[in-house]
Amino acid sequence: MTDRAPPFSWALLLLACASLAGCMTGPPAGPPPPAGVAAVARDQVYLSLPTPPGYPGEKEMAQSIVAQYGPQKVAFDALVSLSPGKVTIIVTAPAGPRVAQIDWDATGVHTTADGTPPPGFRGENVLADLVMTSWPKAALEKALGGRLEVWDYPDGHRKLVRGKELVVDIPPAVLNPDGVSKRTLTNHDFGYILTIVSRESAE
């Protein structure tokens, strides 16, 4: 049994838009964590989102994401804006309407959904996946509070481990000559895989 339910929140946004939430979700495994906190592994392993976010720099990206949870796959797009003081994620169906907007700043996390999201959806879960892939090691370790070790390798590979057990695996990004990058995140505890294709906006 996991602490994070539904186990994969990015997918929930798109499924809410498509009215297919029952395909990939289950009943909650208990009360959700407090505001600003996301479960990232079983046994109440939480990630606390800092306020303000503290991203080291400014970046804007257009992303296409494929999320897989068991046999189910969904695809969606996102516009991501990162800065030390604020993070904004706008999620849309592929080439379709906006599904939700998530804002994270010094006041906390604020989610606005276009329509009614499925039970259990939390913007904090979406942001936790972003922090695990994109924040510096020291900031991620602080957010995890020692609950998982963060192993970073010179080639960009990142692993989150519990003892000798691999919990989250994030191989290095594959960069194309046209500036597009592709990266995956596999959460072994919660059984989902993200494939993220990103293109940074021109300066």
- Read off the pLDDT of each residue in 32-57 and give the average, rounded to a whole number: 93
Q: What is the CATH number of the domain that holds 143?
A: 2.50.20
In a domain, 2, yes or no: no
Instruction: Work out the pLDDT band at 29, boundaries 50, 70, 90.
Output: low
- Read off the pLDDT of each residue in 128-147 and give the average, rounded to a whole number: 96
DSSP letters for 22-70: GGT----SSSPPPTTEEEEETTTEEEEPPSS---SS-EEEEEEEEEEET
Q: What's the number of domains the chain is made of?
A: 1
Q: How far apart are CA 113 and CA 101, in angstroms?
A: 6
Q: Are 63 and 27 in contact (CB under 8 A)?
A: no
Q: Is the pLDDT of residue 120 over 80?
A: no
Query: What pLDDT is stored for residue 123 in this prediction?
Result: 86
- Read off the pLDDT of each residue in 36-63 and give the average, rounded to a whole number: 95
User: By percentage, how much of the chain surpasses pLDDT 90?
Assistant: 61
In a domain, 1, yes or no: no
Q: Is the pLDDT of residue 197 over 90?
A: yes
In terms of Cβ atoms closer than 10 Å to its own Cβ (0-12, 13-18, 19+), residue 66 is middle
In a domain, 100, yes or no: yes
Query: What pLDDT is stored for residue 116 in this prediction?
Result: 61
Domain, as residue range, for 86: 9-200
Scanning the structure block, which residue is given the tokens 């000559």?
A: 177
In a domain, 172, yes or no: yes
Q: Is the pLDDT of residue 156 over 50?
A: yes
Query: What pLDDT is stored for residue 97 in this prediction?
Result: 82
Nearest one of 41, 64, 6, 35 to 144, comparing CA atoms: 41
Instruction: Work out the pLDDT band at 180, boundaries 50, 70, 90.
Output: very high
pLDDT digits (tens, 9 = 90+) for 59-72: 999 999 998 888 88
Nearest one of 173, 174, 136 to 152, comparing CA atoms: 136
In a domain, 174, yes or no: yes
In a domain, 153, yes or no: yes
Q: Is the pLDDT of residue 2 over 60?
A: no
Query: What pLDDT is stored for residue 30 in this prediction?
Result: 64
Scanning the structure block, which residue is given the tokens 């800065």?
A: 83
In a domain, 147, yes or no: yes
Instruction: Work out the pLDDT band at 141, boundaries 50, 70, 90.
Output: very high
pTM: 0.85
Nearest one of 26, 65, 42, 13 to 185, comparing CA atoms: 65
Q: Is the pLDDT of residue 24 over 50?
A: no
Mean pLDDT of the chain: 84
In a domain, 22, yes or no: yes
